[in-house]
Amino acid sequence: MTPRSWARWACSASWAASTATCGKAGAENGDIEEFFKLLDRHMTAPVTEDSIWRTSDANTDFEPNASAPIMRQQNVVHLTKVITDWYKKAPAAI
């Protein structure tokens, strides 16, 4: 997924509902796109043990040797919150 695609996803209902973004009270689309450009280098598969996905709260949303997050609703909701929190305060690895 490209940073632009991630930005489009970010402006979907799940991201917008959790961050009040997309031209409303929060960030502009361009800001969100820039944020996802920072994540681009972390979008490799399979997910390695030293990746941000394993060394952060996102770890609970990935199975061992996973190429993608667990797609159960509770995991998607949790991962959305983790990434939303990174937008507000990015970990050093980003």
Q: What is the mean pLDDT of residues 9-34?
A: 64
- The answer, yes or no, to whether residue 5 has pLDDT greater than 50, is yes
Give dist(CA 24, CA 79) in Å, integer. 22
Give yes or no for a contact between 11 and 36, defined as CB atoms under 8 angstroms apart. Answer: no
Residue of higher predicted confidence among 25 and 58: 58
What are the respective helix, strand and coil percentages of the chain, to the nearest 5?
55, 0, 45
Question: What share of the chain in percent tops pLDDT 90?
Answer: 54
Query: What global pTM score does this model have?
Result: 0.70
pLDDT in tens, 66-83: 999 999 999 999 999 999
Instruction: State how far Cα 10 lies from the chain centre.
Output: 8
The residue type of 44 is T
